[in-house]
Structure 1
Amino acid sequence: MKLIIHGGFFSESDQSHEVKVAKQKSLKNIAQKAFEYLQSHSAFDTVAYAVSLLEDDPLYNAGIGSQIQSDGVIRMSAAIMNGETQKLSGVINIQNVKNPIFVAKDLITEDDRVLGGNGAKIYANENGFEDFSTEIPQRRKEYQEKLNNGGKGTVGCVAIDKDGKLAVATSTGGKGFEIPGRISDSATVAGNYANSFCAVSCTGVGEDIVSNATATKIVTRVTDGMTLENAFTKTFEELKAIDGFAGAIAIDKDGNIFHQDSYPTMVFASFDGENFEIFN
């Protein structure tokens, strides 16, 4: 049993040392809570739980930490994928729910598993998700001042459970000040992908991740026999060719954990019950 989580990027030039320390503490705490949860739950349930904790922390750009779009509205996207069944479900540009990842998780049993905009919100309301404003004063201040607070980013979790099953979940509040209706990578197989061989969650510039098909490439290459590290190396070389900005976390079927970013520093933490690895 192992897991790894990410919370976007950190920039020394845009964020303080205090914020860095706060993120390190937060990620360690969430990784530990998620690992404890993994002891008695599947990887699929665990990744949703871990991402919900990240959504609940305003340090990250997801859930209540979400950025505001150019029209002053928060729209969020999230997806989850079960490596065993290879089913993905997600929501795109959903508004006014506390945890988009739980709406995405509920959709896994539906025939129509990816919903967007108003349709996603109607589904959430019909399935017991209460209205919840994810806006916090700091986000409104940033929006009004037209400051895109650097170092924010998508959140995600990859886990392997005691049965060797893999799962991944990813959630984002967007990039801030984008054109309304813009779709990121998070609820697509470019940013969130898993099968029985490997699971990957991405963060960074969604357009770059989609153009590079980052998560899908890594998982496919591992499935075809590449080591996890080599699959990352080749995929990030291709990302570099388009000057892409991305980071990714992954676990393969043998429990190997790997992470890489094209521009430092992706914030992440991994835990296997004994050893923590946390960004520095």
Structure 2
Amino acid sequence: MKIIIHGGFFSESDQSHDVKVAKQNSLKQIAQDSFEFLKTHSAEETVVHAVKLLEDDLLYNAGMGSQIQSDGKIRMSASLMNGETQKFSGVINIENVKNPIEVAQVLMKEDDRVLGGNGAKQYAAENGFADFSTEIPQRRKEYEEKLKNGGKGTVGCVALDQKGRLAAATSTGGKGFELVGRISDSATVAGNFANGYCAVSCTGVGEDIVSNATAAKIVTRVTDGFPLKNAVEKTFVELKEINGFAGAVAIDKNGNIAHQDSYPTMVFASFDGEHFEIFD
């Protein structure tokens, strides 16, 4: 059993040492909590649990920490993929729900498993999700002053459970001030992908991740026999060719873990029940 989570990027120039320490402590706690959850739950259930905790933490750009778009509204995207069943579900640009990843989880039972905009919100309401504004005063102030809060980013989790099953989940509040209708990578297989061989979750600039098909490429290469480390490295070499900005966390079926970013520093933490690895 292993778990690795990420919470976007940290910038020394934009954020203080105190924020860095807060993110390290937060990620360590969430990774440990989620590993305990993994002991009695499946990989799919665990990645949802971990991402929900990340969505509830104001340090990250998802759920409660989501950015405001150019028209003054918050729209969020999230997705879930079960490596065993090969099912993918997600919501795109959903408004007024507390935890988009939970809506994605409920969609797993549907034939139509990726919903966007008003349809996603209507589905959430019909399935018991309360109307909830994730806007906090800090975000409104940033929007009104036309400021971006640097160093934030998409959150995600990949997990390997005790039965050898893999899963990936990813959630984002967007990049802030984007054009209305913009779709990120987080609810696509470029940003979140898993099968029986590997699971990957990405963060960074969605357009770059989609152009590079980052998560799907890594998983496909591992499936075709690449060692995980090599699959990640080759994919990031190709990302560099388009000057792409991204980070990824991954686990393969043998419990190998990988993490890489194209520009420092992606914030992440992994835990296997004994050893932590946390971004520095």
Shorter-normalised TM-score: what interval? over 0.9
Question: What's the offset of the Cα at 1:118?
Answer: 0.2
Question: What's the offset of the Cα at 1:149?
Answer: 1.0
Gaps of 5+ in 2: none
- What is aligned with 1:190? 190
Q: Which amino acid in the other structure matches residue 14 of structure 1?
A: D
Distance 1:142 1:14 in 2: 14
SS at match of 1:109: coil
Q: Which amino acid in the other structure matches residue 71 of structure 1?
A: D
Question: What's the offset of the Cα at 1:204?
Answer: 0.1
Distance 1:164 1:128 in 2: 32
Matched, 1:10 2:10: yes
Moved more, 48-57 or 137-146: 137-146
CA offsets per residue over residues 226-249 of structure 1, 9 Å max, x none?
000000111000000000000000
- The 5-angstrom pairing of residues 1-280 of structure 1 reads 1-280=1-280
SS at match of 1:61: coil
Q: Which amino acid in the other structure matches residue 157 of structure 2?
A: C
Question: What's the offset of the Cα at 1:134?
Answer: 0.1
| TM-score relative to the length of structure 1 | 1.00
Q: Which runs of 4+ in 1 moved over 6 A?
A: none
Aligned-pair Cα RMSD in Å: 0.3
Q: Which amino acid in the other structure matches residue 10 of structure 1?
A: F
Distance 2:19 2:131 in 1: 30
Question: What's the offset of the Cα at 1:58?
Answer: 0.4
Distance 1:121 1:232 in 2: 35
| TM-score relative to the length of structure 2 | 1.00
Q: How many pairs does the alignment contain?
A: 280
Question: What's the offset of the Cα at 1:82?
Answer: 0.1
CA offsets per residue over residues 181-239 of structure 1, 9 Å max, x none?
10000000000000000000000000000000000000000000000000011100000
CA offsets per residue over residues 132-162 of structure 1, 9 Å max, x none?
1100111111111111111110000000000
Q: Which amino acid in the other structure matches residue 212 of structure 1?
A: N
> Percentage identity across aligned positions?
80
SS at match of 2:108: helix
Gaps of 5+ in 1: none
Distance 2:114 2:152 in 1: 25
